[in-house]
Chain A
Amino acid sequence: MTDWTIVTRSLRARLFSTVTTVASVGVAVALMLVLIMMRSAGREAFERGSGNVHLLVSRDASPLVSVLNGLFYAGAPAKPLMFTEYESLKKSLPVDWAVPVQLGDSYEGKWPVLATNEDFYTKFEPAEHTPWQLAQGTWFAKNFEVVVGAQAARGTGLKLGDKIYLTHGTAGSRGAGSVHVHKEYKYTVVGILKPTGTNHDRVLFTNLPSAWIIHAHDRIEREEHKGQPEHEETEAEHANEKLVTEADLIPEDRKITNIFMRVLTRPGADVGALIPVVMEQMRRDPAFAASPLTVAGPSREIARLMDIVGNIDQILFAMAVVVMVSSGVGIMLALYNSMEQRRRQIAVLRVLGASQPRIFGLILTESAMIGIFGAIAGIGGGLLGAQVAAAVMRERLGLFIDPTLPARGLVAVALGTLALACFAGVVPAVMAYRTSVAKSLRPLV
Chain B
Amino acid sequence: MTNAEPAAAHHATSALRVSNLRFAYRGADGGFTLRVHDLTLARGEQMLLSATSGGGKSTLLQLIAGLMEPDSGTIEVLGRNVHAMRGAARDRYRGAHIGMIFQTFNLLQGFTALENVLAALMFSEVPPGEHRARAAALLTSLGITRHERLVEQLSVGQQQRVAVARAVACSPAVVLADEPTASLDPENAGVAIGLIQQACREKGAALLCVSHDPAIAARFERVQKLADLGGATSPGPQEAAR
Instruction: List chain B residues, Cβ under 8 A from A357.
Output: 87-88
Asked if A406 is an interface residue, CB under 8 A from chain B, the answer is no
Stretch at the interface among B5-13, B117-125, B139-147: B117-125
Instruction: List chain B residues, Cβ under 8 A from A437.
Output: 62, 67
Instruction: List chain A residues, Cβ under 8 A from B106.
Output: 344, 347-348, 351, 441
| Residues 163-181 of chain B, each 1 if its beta carbon lies under 8 Å from chain A, else 0 | 0001000000000000100
Q: A9-B110, A353-B96, A356-B88 are in contact. Are A1 and B118 (CB under 8 A)?
A: yes
Tell me whether B87 and A353 are in contact (CB under 8 A).
no
Asked if B95 is an interface residue, CB under 8 A from chain A, the answer is yes
Report Cα–Cα, A354/B67, bound state, in Å. 12
Tell me whether A443 and B103 are in contact (CB under 8 A).
yes
CB contacts under 8 Å to A, within B35-71, are 58-59, 62, 65, 67-68
Which one of A347, A349, A353, A357 has the greatest number of beta carbons of chain B within 10 Å? Answer: A353
Report the interface size for chain A: residues with CB under 8 A from the other chain.
29
Asked if B220 is an interface residue, CB under 8 A from chain A, the answer is no
Q: A1-B115, A9-B110 are in contact. Are A355 and B88 (CB under 8 A)?
A: yes
Q: A437-B67, A444-B104 are in contact. Are A349 and B119 (CB under 8 A)?
A: yes
Tell me whether B91 and A356 are in contact (CB under 8 A).
yes
Contact of B108 among A345, A353, A355, A441 (CB under 8 A): A345
Q: A348-B108, A437-B62, A438-B62 are in contact. Are A354 and B102 (CB under 8 A)?
A: no
Which one of A1, A348, A357 has the greatest number of beta carbons of chain B within 10 Å? Answer: A1
Report Cα–Cα, A13/B111, bound state, in Å. 10
Report Cα–Cα, A357/B123, bound state, in Å. 13
Report Cα–Cα, A358/B102, bound state, in Å. 23
In the assembled complex, the CB of B173 is this many whole angstroms from the nearest CB of chain A, namely 13
Q: A345-B109, A437-B62, A443-B102 are in contact. Are A352 and B119 (CB under 8 A)?
A: yes
Asked if A350 is an interface residue, CB under 8 A from chain B, the answer is yes
Asked if B83 is an interface residue, CB under 8 A from chain A, the answer is no
Instruction: List chain B residues, Cβ under 8 A from A10.
Output: 110
Tell me whether B67 and A350 are in contact (CB under 8 A).
yes
Which residue on chain A has the smallest CB distance to residue B67?
A437
Contact of A1 among B59, B88, B107, B122 (CB under 8 A): B122
| Residues 149-193 of chain B, each 1 if its beta carbon lies under 8 Å from chain A, else 0 | 000000000000000001000000000000100100000000000
In the assembled complex, the CB of B56 is this many whole angstroms from the nearest CB of chain A, namely 12
Interface residues on B, range: 35 or more
Q: A1-B121, A1-B131, A437-B62 are in contact. Are A354 and B91 (CB under 8 A)?
A: yes
Which residue on chain A has the smallest CB distance to residue B100?
A351
In the assembled complex, the CB of A146 is this many whole angstroms from the nearest CB of chain B, namely 70
| Residues 168-186 of chain A, each 1 if its beta carbon lies under 8 Å from chain B, else 0 | 0000000000000000000
Asked if B80 is an interface residue, CB under 8 A from chain A, the answer is no
Which residue on chain B has the smallest CB distance to residue A439?
B27
Instruction: List chain B residues, Cβ under 8 A from A444.
Output: 104
Report Cα–Cα, A351/B167, bound state, in Å. 10
Instruction: List chain B residues, Cβ under 8 A from A3.
Output: 122
Tell me whether A353 and B94 are in contact (CB under 8 A).
yes
CB contacts under 8 Å to B, within A413-445, are 437-438, 441-444
Instruction: List chain A residues, Cβ under 8 A from B109.
Output: 345
Which one of A9, A348, A351 has the greatest number of beta carbons of chain B within 10 Å? Answer: A351
Tell me whether B87 and A355 are in contact (CB under 8 A).
yes
Cβ contacts A to B, 28 pairs, < 8 Å: A1-B115, A1-B118, A1-B119, A1-B131, A2-B122, A345-B108, A348-B106, A348-B107, A348-B119, A349-B108, A350-B91, A351-B65, A351-B94, A352-B166, A353-B92, A353-B95, A353-B96, A353-B120, A354-B95, A355-B92, A356-B87, A356-B88, A358-B91, A438-B62, A438-B68, A442-B58, A443-B102, A443-B182
Beyond known contacts A1-B115, A3-B122, A438-B68: 7 more, CB 8 A cutoff: A348-B107, A350-B91, A351-B94, A352-B123, A441-B62, A443-B103, A443-B104
- Shortest Cβ-Cβ A-B pairs, 9 listed: A353-B95, A353-B123, A1-B118, A355-B88, A355-B91, A437-B67, A13-B110, A443-B104, A352-B120
Binding site for B on A (CB under 8 A): 1-3, 5-6, 9-10, 12-13, 344-345, 347-358, 437-438, 441-444
